[in-house]
Amino acid sequence: MKPKDINMQSLVDGFIDDCLTPSPGTWTLAKHLYEIFGVYCDELDVELPGTNITFGMAMSRRIQKRISNGLSQYAIVFKPEIFVALDHGGIDQNEQTGSEISKAVTGEE
């Protein structure tokens, strides 16, 4: 069962707190963040409560954003345990990645 009444901002706040670390001067592409946010939502058994646009608006309320070469980027990095789960930056959304992110986020083995 996936609840549909989850507020995007509160879900993004949880994603930031659980998975990310603000890092002024280090930029991460919004599309990569949104991919992993989808995995995060799946692991919480929650439907995505909006689009990549509403995700970006919620991210921008807490994290510095810039547009470079037409691509949105945020001054944030993945926490070390999430980075390792992503195979050192190879952001490929697959079953193993989702499982590894879940372990990193929840601390479960």
Q: Which whole number is the average pLDDT over 79-101?
A: 53
User: Which residues are CB-contacts of 25 (< 8 A; sequence separation ≥ 6)?
Assistant: 75
Lookup: tokens for 102:
């879940």
pLDDT at 10 over 80: yes
1 is a domain residue: no
pLDDT in the model for residue 59: 96
Confirm if 21 and 76 have CB atoms less than 8 A apart. Answer: yes
In a domain, 64, yes or no: yes
Measured CA to CA, the distance from residue 23 to residue 3 in angstroms comes to 32
- Would 85 be classed as within a structural domain? yes
Query: CA-to-CA distance for 41 and 15, rounded, in angstroms?
Result: 9
CATH number of residue 91's parent domain: 1.10.10.10
Percentage above 90 pLDDT, the chain:
44
Instruction: To the nearest 10°, report the CA torsion of 43, 49, 53, 58.
Output: -80
Asked, for residue 49, whether it belongs to a domain, the answer is yes
Task: Please state the domain count of the chain.
Answer: 1
The values of phi and psi at residue 78, to 5°, are -70, 145
Contact 12, 57 (CB under 8 A): no
Range of the domain at 49: 8-106
pTM: 0.73
